Amino acid sequence: MRVRRCAVLWLEPKETARFELENLLAGGTGVASAMRWFAHAPQLDAPLSIEAADVELLGSLSPNDWVDAAPLRERHGARLRDLMKAGLVIGRGKAWDPQRLADERFREQHWFGPAALLHADSRWCGLDAAREVAEEGMDTAEGMRTRYGAPPSELHARAQAAQRLPLPAPDASPLEDLLDRRSTCRNFDASAFLPQAALAAVLARTFGARGNVHAADSFDVLKKTSPSGGALHPTEAYLIVQRVEGVAPGLYHYHAGDHALEALPSPEDLAAFARLAVAGQHWFSDAPVLVVLAPRFVRNFWKYRNHAKAYRVVILDVGHLSQTLYLTATELGLGAFITAAINETDIEQAFGLINCVDGPLAVCGFGARAERMATSEFDPNNKVWPRKSV
């Protein structure tokens, strides 16, 4: 059989600490630390602890050229098999198809290696970040100030005040007013249903195709309201619909061309899934609709192949979409939010997405605001609170 290394690999020498009773009894702190090797490969679920001898084996294998496995087996024995099982060494035999296909699918996406590692390693699974932050007392400004000291200053100067060129204030305008009313909502009316027309308007204005240019054979380019790197618009909108008039609660994909919803299999406990998706942030999870922003990476990486800037561009695309969603929701008198504190792995599983193929990067949501503020919001100019009309 012939083997080669998986496409992208980072071998990390990492200090690990564990509790040791003997250490404590001998008068130590009870914490023993040791250096261990970890293998990070983006197509895997998680980094793997490996042996020091594996570093030599993995370092000797090309990610491109296939070589005979027999001499490696002779030299490294069962370790070769273990690394093949893990998907770090790829075998050509039928028995190794699952690992080989996962590696090939990853190669087809044309990731820049370090970006793929960052993306895969920063995914969460089953995390209640909201609870953890609260338990650490880091959910208030005072708590953060106590723990970290003062933050870097909110304004940045590069010249003395007298040397600055003063600029005129912008004229009053509907856009000016709309921008001032944009404010992250953490208090949704947990019983209000969103009119279907409002859902449709926000989706059409944020994610909908507004024009189509046939650029070349089998190469169409969509016009949308936000800019997108290479005009490729890789980001798909996946919906958790909880309370929308005329739309059954469940999971959906928004079809940007047809301006239509595609129903997907839904979890039994939709509210629990919504809360899991936003990592326990209950102030977001009761929005009537949550929108997962999940780029199809290869739509962008098809052009920007293995490109050092491409992942950054995709993330920036998502940021633009979020602001458009905020503004369209605000214009309709609705509250909106974005969060990147999300359980990507759980979202992937629920929507049938594949790690490094389609990647949830953020979750937005929108809907009617509650009448009373239970979770704090940032509205220093009282553009939103106290609620004037609901």
Ligand X SMILES: Cc1cc2nc3c(=O)[nH]c(=O)nc-3n(C[C@H](O)[C@H](O)[C@H](O)COP(=O)(O)O)c2cc1C
Rg of the Cα trace of the chain?
25
**Residue 287 makes contact with ligand X by CB under 6 A:** no
- CA 296 to CA 146: how far, in whole Å? 41
**Residue 183 makes contact with ligand X by CB under 6 A:** yes
**Which CB sits closer to ligand X, 106 or 188?**
188
- The stretch near ligand X (CB under 6 A) out of 180-188, 220-228, 231-239, 299-307 is 180-188
- 197 burial class (0-12, 13-18, 19+ CB within 10 angstroms)? exposed
**Which CB sits closer to ligand X, 133 or 353?**
133
Count other Cβ atoms within 10 Å, centred on residue 377.
16
**Which CB sits closer to ligand X, 32 or 178?**
178
**Residue 219 makes contact with ligand X by CB under 6 A:** no
**Residue 340 makes contact with ligand X by CB under 6 A:** yes
**Which CB sits closer to ligand X, 53 or 175?**
175
Q: How far is the CB of 176 from ligand X (least distance, A)?
A: 15
Helices marked H in the chain: 21-25, 52-60, 70-76, 78-86, 97-108, 113-121, 129-135, 141-148, 174-181, 196-207, 270-277, 282-285, 297-301, 310-331, 344-351
Q: How many residues bind ligand X (CB under 6 A)?
A: 9
**Residue 343 makes contact with ligand X by CB under 6 A:** no
What single letter denotes the amino acid at residue 40? H
Q: Are strands 89-91 and 2-5 parallel, antiparallel or unpaired?
A: antiparallel
- CA 195 to CA 206: how far, in whole Å? 17
**Residue 281 makes contact with ligand X by CB under 6 A:** yes
Among 287, 338, 347, 350, binds ligand X (CB under 6 A): 338
**Residue 178 makes contact with ligand X by CB under 6 A:** no
Q: How far is the CB of 379 from ligand X (least distance, A)?
A: 7
Closest CA to 326 of 309, 339, 338, 313: 338
Structure tokens belonging to residue 19: 């509790």
CB 182 within 8 A of CB 327: yes
**Which CB sits closer to ligand X, 82 or 379?**
379
**Which CB sits closer to ligand X, 186 or 233?**
186
Closest CA to 334 of 252, 256, 373, 390: 390
- The stretch near ligand X (CB under 6 A) out of 75-83, 109-117, 164-172, 179-187 is 179-187
Q: How far is the CB of 348 from ligand X (least distance, A)?
A: 19
- The stretch near ligand X (CB under 6 A) out of 26-34, 131-139, 161-169, 335-343 is 335-343
Q: How far is the CB of 322 from ligand X (least distance, A)?
A: 7
Among 339, 343, 345, 355, binds ligand X (CB under 6 A): 339
**Residue 341 makes contact with ligand X by CB under 6 A:** yes
Structure tokens belonging to residue 375: 């979770």
- Is the Cα torsion angle 130, 135, 138, 139 positive or negative in sign? positive
CB 244 within 8 A of CB 263: no
Among 23, 184, 225, 266, binds ligand X (CB under 6 A): 184
Count other Cβ atoms within 10 Å, centred on residue 81.
14
**Residue 378 makes contact with ligand X by CB under 6 A:** yes
Q: How far is the CB of 10 from ligand X (least distance, A)?
A: 25
Q: Where does this chain bind ligand X (CB under 6 A)?
A: 183-184, 186, 281, 338-341, 378
